[in-house]
C-alpha cells in the first residue's frame, strides 16, 4: 500500500507516549483545527484511543493499572501541505517492553516492527540533570549489615539518559539509519529555556545529542507538553477552558505551537 506508513513510537516507561496519543486523538479526531494533519475518518475500533482521550480530557494521569492494553492504532490522516491522505500504523508498545531490551529480553514483535518501520517517534521524559549519587547529601543513618541488599544491578539503576542512548543504539542496529526520526522531549512545560529545542539538547545533554547526530541522518527535535501543565484540582476549570480552545497541549521547536501534529507531519512527509 503506497499510502500507508508504519510509525514506531518508542520510549521508556512513563516517557509520555500514551498521553501524547490521547491528546492527539482528542484534539485532531474531528478536524477543524487548521493543523498540518487532520484525521480523515474514524478508525473502525477506537476503544483504546477513547480511553486515552478520556484521561486527557479529564486531566487525569493515564492509569497504568487500568485494563487499557496498548494496541496497534491505525489513523487515516490528511496532510494540508501535500493534500495527500495516508494511513498511519502505530503499534503502541508498553514502555516496559522497550526497557526489557536493555536486559537482553527482546520481544520478537518489537524486532519485527523495527525492521518494518518507515519512521520513528521517540519519546524521552524530561528529567533533572544526570548526577552521581555521591553528589546528593546522604542520610546520616547507615544501613545495618543484615539489611544490606545484594549488589545485583537492575536496569532502573542505569541513568535514564543512558538507558535512552542504549535503546537508540539498539534501534540503530535494527533500522535504516536514514529513516526519519523525531526525538520528543516530553513534559516540556517543566523546562524553562529560551534556546531552541535542538540547542537545548546540545547544551544540556551533549552526549545524547552527539550519539544521535553520529548515528541518525534524518532527525528533528521537539519539546512536547501533551498535558500542557502539571494537573492540579484547583486549576481544573481554567485548564478546561484551554482544553476546549485546543490550546492546552503544545509542541516546541524554537517557539510554542499548539499544532501537536507537527512531529507526525515531519515523519510522514519525508
C-alpha cell at 39: 484525521
- Minimum Å gap between C-beta 161 and other proteins is 7
Residues 6+ apart with CB under 8 A from 102: 155, 158, 163, 166, 167, 170
- Minimum Å gap between C-beta 83 and other proteins is 27
Of 36 and 125, CB closest to other proteins: 125
Residue 233 in the binding site for other proteins (CB under 8 A): no
47-57 and 17-28 helices cross at what angle (nearest 10)?
90
Of 15 and 27, CB closest to other proteins: 15
- Minimum Å gap between C-beta 145 and other proteins is 7
Residue 63 in the binding site for other proteins (CB under 8 A): no
Distance in angstroms (rounded) separating the CA atoms of residues 91 and 71: 6
Candidates 25-33, 79-87, 145-153, 184-192; binding stretch for other proteins (CB under 8 A)? 145-153
Distance in angstroms (rounded) separating the CA atoms of residues 148 and 230: 37
SS3 40: strand
DSSP 8-state class, residue 229: S
What residues make contact with other proteins under the rule CB under 8 A? 69-72, 89, 91, 93-94, 96-97, 100-109, 111, 115, 129-130, 132-135, 138, 142-143, 145, 148-151, 153, 155, 157-159, 161-162, 165-166, 169-170, 173-174, 205-211, 214-215
Amino acid at each position: 500500500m503506497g499510502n500507508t506508513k508504519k510509525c514506531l513510537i518508542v520510549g521508556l516507561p512513563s516517557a509520555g507516549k500514551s498521553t501524547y496519543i490521547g491528546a492527539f486523538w482528542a484534539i485532531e479526531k474531528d478536524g477543524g483545527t487548521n493543523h498540518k494533519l487532520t484525521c480523515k475518518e474514524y478508525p473502525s475500533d477506537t476503544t483504546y484511543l477513547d480511553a486515552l482521550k478520556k484521561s486527557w480530557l479529564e486531566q487525569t494521569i493515564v492509569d497504568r493499572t487500568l485494563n487499557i492494553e496498548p494496541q496497534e492504532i491505525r489513523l487515516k490522516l490528511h496532510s494540508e501541505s501535500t493534500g495527500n491522505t495516508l494511513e498511519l500504523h502505530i503499534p503502541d508498545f508498553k514502555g516496559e517492553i522497550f526497557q526489557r531490551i536493555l536486559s537482553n529480553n527482546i520481544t520478537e514483535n518489537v524486532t519485527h516492527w523495527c525492521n518494518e518501520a518507515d519512521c520513528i517517534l521517540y519519546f524521552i521524559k524530561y528529567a533533572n540533570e544526570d548526577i552521581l549519587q555521591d553528589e546528593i547529601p546522604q542520610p546520616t543513618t547507615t544501613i545495618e549489615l543484615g539489611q544490606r541488599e545484594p549488589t545485583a544491578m537492575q536496569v532502573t539503576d542505569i541513568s535514564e539518559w543512558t538507558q535512552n542512548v542504549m535503546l537508540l543504539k539498539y534501534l540503530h542496529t535494527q533500522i535504516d539509519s536514514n529513516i526519519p526520526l523525531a526525538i520528543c522531549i516530553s513534559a516540556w512545560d517543566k523546562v524553562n529555556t529560551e534556546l531552541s529545542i535542538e540547542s537545548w539538547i546540545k547544551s544540556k545533554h551533549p552526549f545524547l545529542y552527539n550519539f544521535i547526530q553520529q548515528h541518525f541522518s534524518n532527525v528533528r527535535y521537539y519539546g512536547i507538553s501533551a498535558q500542557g501543565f502539571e494537573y492540579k484540582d484547583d486549576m481544573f476549570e481554567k485548564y478546561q477552558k484551554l482544553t476546549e480552545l485546543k490550546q492546552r497541549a503544545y509542541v516546541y521547536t524554537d517557539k510554542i505551537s499548539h499544532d501537536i501534529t507537527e512531529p507526525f507531519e515531519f515523519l510522514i512527509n519525508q
